[in-house]
Amino acid sequence: MRRNIRYMYAIALLQGMVFYGPVATLYREAQGVSIAQITLIESISLALCILLEVPWGVLADKLGYKRTMIGCCLLYFLSKIVFWQADGFGGFLLERVMLSVVIAGMSGVDTSILYLSCGKEDSQQVFGWYNTLQTAGLLIAALTFSLFIGDNYALAGGLTVLSYGAAALCALGLTEVKAPAPFSVRQAMDVLRQTLTNRRLLLFLLSAALLTEAHQTITTFFNQLQYARWGLSSAAIGILYIAAVLLGLSGVWSARLTNKTGPLWGGVLLCSAAVLACTALALSTGAVSSVCAILALRLSNTLFQPFQMELQNRQVVTEHRATALSIHAMVIDGVGVCTNLAFGALAEVDLTCAFWFGGGICLTGLVLFLIWYKLRPRA
């Protein structure tokens, strides 16, 4: 089973190598896609993920996690070829549609492979390394972009295709952690009902969704716009991207932090940091404060993700783990559809409004986390 962990780590590293990452928004804009269209594509992608989550979860439990992972890694590779050749709204929409199929398929499968391949007491540490290696891939790609690629967007897209092709080959080395088993639609609906009637679990998922979506939108799309707003050059933006990626390596310390603070105060600390970071962006009067706020938001989310993954897996009580985690993702993506549309509309009016919205949903996430913790089962 340790072999699975090694292969999953390799896949994480290779799929982290998105060589166009430092200019992801600018790349799309250079191909004729506006910021409103970008957020619209994201919302369509998330909506499609929601529709595919449960069917994919059922299929993964039937096919086995290894086969599902191999198929998704292959389609991921193909989606990067489409992105590389995309020109305009239609091409990038097609890429995101393919990516939606991949995300829905891998949702719960990658973490299930890791969770079932290691001792449960080590899971947060394993998740931390998994996320960190994805970030290490981003760092390698960012350094390569800054030193060798520059404004050659086509080269950045081509190198990304190669790294994702190598990841697909690594998936072939996985071993099965759960034998495929008959699984009916009725059983899937039972798992769906159990999830949607579990008020405490829903509170946790909504909390995680709000925090994750605020981070994703701001640090992936709005950060570059904010940097350009304050006159930073492309070279400076590339350096700041590398700094943000370096902070992403801190996921390995997530378990150490929450072990020291306990789950309550660990969650409060990380959620509060996100609220403060978004507020600082809304009140920003220059490049320095913007940079500090975006890096703080990046750090808080990096430490939060392994913590969230462990708590989420602990709350799965059915043997059909992939299906349950797919339903969790469906709930989270549903929130993302709404937040992406709101972020896009607000950013078109004024980027500051979008940052205030980010602070508001992070604060809501903090409140939901506190309620979730208060409703925990008592010994």
Query: DSSP letters of 106-135?
Result: HTTHHHHHHHHHS-GGGHHHHHHHHHHHHH
For the ranges 111-120, 270-279, 346-355, the lowest mean pLDDT is seen at 111-120
- Give CA angle at 74 (301, 19), nearest 5°: 50
**Residue 248 and residue 298 in contact, taking contact as beta carbons nearer than 8 Å:** yes
**Residue 184: is its pLDDT beyond 70?**
no
User: Cβ distance 17 to 160 under 8 Å?
Assistant: yes
Q: Pick the range with the lowest mean pLDDT from 80-89, 142-151, 306-315.
A: 142-151
CA–CA gap between residue 223 and residue 216 (Å, rounded):
10
Tokens of 36: 């409103």
pLDDT over 70 at 206, yes or no: yes
Give the rounded percent of residues in the chain with a pLDDT score beyond 70.
97
pLDDT (mean) for 187-202: 85
Across the range 146-166, mean pLDDT stands at: 90
Q: Report the number of secondary-structure helices (H) and strands (E) in the chain.
A: 16, 0
Determine the pLDDT at residue 160: 95
What pLDDT does residue 379 have? 52
Higher per-residue confidence, 147 vs 172: 172
pLDDT bin (cut points 50, 70, 90) of residue 333 is confident
3-state secondary structure of 286: coil
Q: Summarize the confidence of residues 27-43 as an average pLDDT.
A: 85
- Measured CA to CA, the distance from residue 42 to residue 58 in angstroms comes to 25
pLDDT band at 207 (very low <50, low <70, confident <90, very high): very high
pLDDT at 168 > cutoff 90: yes
Per the listing, tokens 């500051």 go with 352
* 181 — pLDDT class (breaks 50, 70, 90): low
Lowest average pLDDT, out of 194-198, 317-321, 332-336, 350-354, goes to 317-321
| Residue type, position 89, single letter | F
Residue 290 confidence (pLDDT): 92
Residues 214-268 pLDDT 10s: 998 998 888 888 888 888 887 788 788 788 878 888 888 888 898 899 989 999 9
Residue 186 has pLDDT above 90, yes or no: no
> What pLDDT, in 10s, does the model give residues 273-304?
999 999 999 998 888 999 999 999 999 999 99
What pLDDT does 313 receive? 83
Over residues 130-142, mean pLDDT: 87
Region 140-163: mean pLDDT is 88
Q: What integer pLDDT is reported at residue 153 of this predicted model?
A: 86
Phi-psi group of 32: left, alpha or beta (phi > 0 → left; psi -120 to 50 → alpha; rest → beta): left
Res 99 pLDDT > 90? yes
| Pair 200, 372: CB distance under 8 Å | yes
The encoded tokens of residue 354 equal 């979008």
Give the confidence band of 183 by pLDDT, cuts at 50, 70, 90: low
DSSP 3-state of 151: coil
Average pLDDT, the chain: 88
User: pLDDT-based confidence at 324, cuts 50/70/90?
Assistant: confident
With beta carbons less than 8 A apart as the criterion, state whether 57 and 325 touch: yes
pLDDT of residue 108: 81
DSSP 196-222: HT-HHHHHHHHHHHHHHHHHHHIIIII
pTM exceeds cut of 0.95 = no
Decide: helix, strand or coil at residue 31.
coil
pLDDT given for residue 279 in this prediction: 96
Mean of pLDDT values over 155-174: 95
Q: Are 320 and 57 in contact (CB under 8 A)?
A: yes
Q: What is the DSSP letter of 249?
A: G
Q: Residue 1 CB: number of other CB atoms within 10 A?
A: 12
pLDDT of residue 4: 93
The SS3 call for residue 181 is: coil
On whether the CB atoms of residues 100 and 52 are closer than 8 A, the answer is yes
Confidence of residue 187 (pLDDT cuts 50, 70, 90): confident
Q: What angle do CA 273, 208, 120 make, to 5 degrees?
A: 105
CATH of segment(s) 2-174+185-374: 1.20.1250.20
Residues 147-164 have a mean pLDDT of 89
pLDDT band at 359 (very low <50, low <70, confident <90, very high): very high
